[in-house]
Amino acid sequence: MFTLPINNLAGKEVGEVDLDEKVFDGKVNKSLLHQTTVMYLANKRQGTASTKTRANVSGGNSKPWRQKGTGKARVGSSRSPLWKKGGIVFGPHPRDYSYQLPQKMKKKALICSLNSRLNDNLVKILEELKVDSGKTKDFTKIIQALNLEKKTLFVCDNAQASVVRSSRNIKDVDLKRPEMINALDVLLHKNIIITKKALDGLTARLQKGE
CA 96 to CA 81: how far, in whole Å?
26
Q: Which helix (H) or strand (E) holds 207?
A: helix 196-207
Cα distance from N-terminal residue to C-terminal residue, the chain: 19
pLDDT at 202: 94
CA 191 to CA 188: how far, in whole Å? Answer: 9
- Going by pLDDT thresholds of 50, 70 and 90, the confidence category of residue 20 is very high
| CATH 3.40.1370.10 residue spans of the chain | 3-46+101-207
Greatest Cα-to-Cα distance within the chain, rounded to the nearest angstrom: 94
Whole-number Å distance between alpha carbons of 21 and 163: 31
| pLDDT on residue 60 | 86
pLDDT, tens digit, 9 for 90 and up, residues 35-88: 999 999 999 999 999 999 999 999 888 999 999 999 999 999 999 999 999 999
Number of Cβ within 10 Å of residue 23's Cβ equals 19
Beta strands 123-126; 3-7: pairing state: parallel
Identity of the residue numbered 63: K
**In 20-172, which ranges are E strands?**
123-126, 152-155
CATH number for region 3-46+101-207: 3.40.1370.10
Q: How many Å apart are CA 210 and CA 204, to the nearest integer?
A: 11
pLDDT digits (tens, 9 = 90+) for 149-182: 889 999 998 878 999 999 999 999 999 999 999 9
Question: What does the alpha-carbon distance between residue 68 and residue 82 come to, in Å, rounded to a whole number?
Answer: 19
Q: Is the pLDDT confidence value at 209 over 70?
A: no
